[in-house]
């Protein structure tokens, strides 16, 4: 049995990837994914194309495309029916700008003939991000920023189409965000409980009014409840590392159940799982080195530049932590100058220690999008120091731990505010034996927050490593320039977490369908009796 799902504000499709991979008696069919960013739309379209084939039966040409051996046109021209269906299921649109009648038409056709369906999505969240607010609060007009109320576009869909279940994701900062002196989160919950009444009159006039305007109960995926009003705002928070995701990603995720099906109490939450580390998922990937911003690609020249920068910095003579100094010297001596900087496709490596069945696809014969960035030689020395410090001390150093010679000259790194340095963790290594820190869209700008834990590689994470930490399968390909690939990954819901959410929704829907059958049987018996 297939239940349609529509994903709005879809990004590259982390949420819908999790739902699409949820198997069993009831499966989810991603009937429509809506996104306004061109590169994310292309990623969604390619993944929708991949899903047109049975599991394990994607064409060889798909893998050739991922390996950069054929063009997109060659792939799509060979399978016109499948790409046509993928395009029908992928819509590039800004819900705030597109004609409401077109939205009604596209979504109505996507769920036509189905009693039950699921709405997925997370409205853009920059205004709710804690870092985003700290930066934007200085800007004139921040209090009126429209991104505070983008969730209302999601609300319109809920109000007009009344999905049986919806899943809405947002950043942790939404719990404390304020708009015009009012806390945002209680208002969002109130609106979602009675979506039609919460719409402004102008919005209602543009939407088809349902025959019966239903309300919703808003439950948590992580906290059982006797009723949704018994939940506190923090109860809606999902700490991903507690559920087998190798990343300390904390997000608010709401489970809305239409009131004609909502239970009085809810206990079918996501089960906690063993904590995974960075080593569990990126250990064993092909070792590569960074490159120099000067475009030098020769391994011996790169190593010579690193050694020169290290000795000219004076850090070795001034560093008081002998264990870190020794680790830096040993790491430089251990660097293999034959290492390359990787590429759009890299062969080699071994299967990850954990989640191998989830990540690996033997037909790939390697890893796509595993290419290092180029860095300035002073940053190579900083990366070497940060990675070695992390190996020695088990934590990444703050700027206050840096030798003076390695302190960056950025104003944001040296400016003091209330006795503290802004962005004290501007350079941060991931630690092998811990979950990663939150993978964010900032990766598109630089990799300073995501330094590889192996100092002999002396680099920031690649697109594929970031994708692994976000639990995207290795055969999931991201379109666009590298910066936009990082942006897509950082903005996504981890697909494996989404899969666990989908399993909760799956059980709910199976119960609802059984309930429908019982009701209909009673009606039929009543009709026969009369």
CA distances from 346 to 279, 284, 470 (A): 19, 13, 20
- pLDDT at 143 (0 to 100): 36
Element (H, E) at 265: none
- pLDDT band at residue 423, thresholds of 50, 70 and 90? low
Residue pair 239/215 in contact by the 8 Å Cβ criterion: no
Compute how many other C-beta atoms are within 10 angstroms of the C-beta atom of residue 519: 10
- pLDDT band at residue 145, thresholds of 50, 70 and 90? very low
- pLDDT over 50 (residue 140): no
- Give percent of the chain with pLDDT exceeding 70: 91
Handedness of CA 106, 490, 130, 119 (dihedral sign): positive
**Stretch 518-524: mean pLDDT, rounded?**
80
pLDDT digits (tens, 9 = 90+) for 180-201: 778 889 999 999 999 999 998 9
- pLDDT at 151 (0 to 100): 83
Tell me the C-alpha distance between 87 and 85, whole Å.
Answer: 5
- pLDDT band at residue 144, thresholds of 50, 70 and 90? very low
The two structure tokens encoding residue 457 = 């590689």
**Stretch 23-37: mean pLDDT, rounded?**
97
SS3 88: helix
- pLDDT at 150 (0 to 100): 74
Structure-token match 């390619």, residue found: 46
For residue 368, the 8-state DSSP code is E
pLDDT digits (tens, 9 = 90+) for 360-388: 999 999 999 999 999 988 899 999 999 99
Mean pLDDT of the chain: 90
Residue pair 402/379 in contact by the 8 Å Cβ criterion: no
- pLDDT at 132 (0 to 100): 43
The architecture (CATH level 2) of 2-276+492-522 comes to 3-Layer(aba) Sandwich (3.40)
pLDDT digits (tens, 9 = 90+) for 202-231: 999 999 999 999 999 999 999 999 888 899
Domain ranges of the chain: 2-276+492-522, 278-478
Residue pair 154/121 in contact by the 8 Å Cβ criterion: yes
Alpha helix stretches (DSSP H) within 276-435: 278-282, 299-313, 315-318, 322-334, 356-359, 377-393, 411-414
Q: What is the CA radius of gyration of the chain?
A: 25
- pLDDT at 260 (0 to 100): 96
Beta bridge partners of 120: 7, 167
The two structure tokens encoding residue 59 = 């064409």
**Stretch 354-358: mean pLDDT, rounded?**
97
Residue pair 281/466 in contact by the 8 Å Cβ criterion: no
- pLDDT at 149 (0 to 100): 59
**Stretch 485-509: mean pLDDT, rounded?**
97
Structure-token match 């850090």, residue found: 315
Q: Which of 172, 147, 120 is nearest to 14 (CA)?
A: 120
SS3 255: strand
Residue pair 216/168 in contact by the 8 Å Cβ criterion: no
Does the pTM of the predicted model rise above 0.75? yes
Residue pair 263/507 in contact by the 8 Å Cβ criterion: no
Whether residue 458 lies in the annotated active site? no
Q: Which of 202-211, 275-284, 385-394 has the lowest mean pLDDT?
A: 202-211
Residue pair 89/30 in contact by the 8 Å Cβ criterion: yes
The two structure tokens encoding residue 286 = 């092909």
Handedness of CA 236, 239, 245, 249 (dihedral sign): positive
Instruction: Given the residues 22, 125, 431, 458, select the one marked as catalytic.
Output: 125
Handedness of CA 497, 250, 267, 11 (dihedral sign): negative
Tell me the C-alpha distance between 367 and 361, whole Å.
Answer: 10
User: 80 CB contacts (<8 Å, ≥6 apart)?
Assistant: none
- Report for 82-96, 172-186, 197-211, 294-308: range of highest mean pLDDT: 82-96
């Amino acid at each position: 049995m297939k239940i349609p799902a529509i994903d709005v504000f879809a990004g590259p499709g982390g949420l819908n990837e999790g739902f699409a991979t949820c198997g069993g008696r009831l499966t989810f069919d991603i009937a429509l994914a809506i996104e306004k960013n061109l590169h994310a739309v292309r990623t969604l379209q390619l993944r929708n194309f991949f899903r047109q084939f049975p599991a394990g039966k994607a064409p060889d040409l798909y893998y050739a495309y991922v390996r950069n051996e054929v063009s997109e046109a060659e792939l799509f021209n060979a399978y016109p029916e499948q790409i046509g269906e993928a395009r029908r299921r992928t819509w590039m649109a800004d819900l705030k700008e597109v004609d409401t009648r077109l939205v009604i038409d596209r979504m109505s056709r996507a769920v036509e003939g189905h009693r039950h369906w699921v709405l997925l999505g997370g409205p853009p969240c920059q205004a709710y991000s804690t870092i985003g607010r700290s930066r934007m609060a200085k800007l004139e007009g921040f209090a009126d920023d429209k991104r505070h109320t983008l969730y209302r576009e999601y609300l319109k869909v809920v109000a007009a189409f009344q999905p049986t279940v919806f899943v809405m994701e947002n950043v942790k900062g939404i719990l404390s965000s304020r708009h015009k002196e009012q806390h945002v989160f209680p208002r969002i919950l109130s609106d979602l409980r009675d979506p039609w009444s919460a719409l402004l009159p102008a919005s209602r006039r543009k939407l088809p009014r349902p025959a019966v305007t239903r309300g919703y109960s808003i439950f948590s995926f992580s906290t059982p409840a006797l009723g949704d009003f018994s939940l506190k705002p923090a109860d809606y928070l999902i700490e991903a590392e507690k559920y087998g995701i190798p990343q300390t990603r904390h997000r608010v995720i709401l489970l809305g159940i239409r009131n004609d099906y909502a239970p009085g109490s809810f206990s079918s939450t996501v089960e906690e799982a063993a904590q995974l580390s960075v080593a569990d998922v990126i250990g064993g990937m092909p070792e590569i080195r960074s490159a120099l911003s000067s475009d030098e690609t020769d391994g011996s020249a790169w190593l010579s530049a690193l050694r020169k920068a290290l000795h000219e910095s004076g850090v070795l003579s001034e560093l008081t932590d002998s264990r870190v100094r020794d680790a830096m010297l040993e790491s430089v001596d251990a660097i293999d100058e034959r290492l390359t900087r990787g590429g759009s496709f890299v062969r080699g490596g071994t299967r990850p220690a954990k989640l191998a069945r989830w990540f690996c696809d033997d037909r790939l014969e390697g890893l796509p999008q595993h290419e290092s960035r180029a860095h300035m030689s002073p940053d190579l020395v900083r990366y070497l120091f940060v990675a070695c410090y992390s190996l020695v001390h088990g934590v990444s150093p703050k700027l206050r731990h840096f030798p003076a010679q390695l302190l960056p000259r950025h104003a944001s790194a040296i400016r003091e505010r209330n006795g503290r340095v802004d962005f004290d963790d501007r350079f941060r290594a991931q630690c092998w034996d811990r979950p990663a820190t939150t993978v964010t869209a900032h990766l598109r700008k630089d990799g300073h927050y995501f330094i590889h834990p192996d100092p002999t590689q002396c680099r920031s994470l690649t697109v594929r490593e970031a994708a692994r930490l976000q639990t995207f399968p290795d055969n999931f390909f991201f379109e666009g320039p590298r910066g936009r690939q990082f942006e897509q990954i950082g903005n996504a819901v981890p697909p494996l977490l989404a899969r666990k959410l989908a399993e909760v929704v799956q059980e709910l829907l199976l119960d609802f369908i059984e309930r429908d059958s019982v009701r209909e049987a009673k009606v039929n018996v009543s009709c026969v009796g009369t």
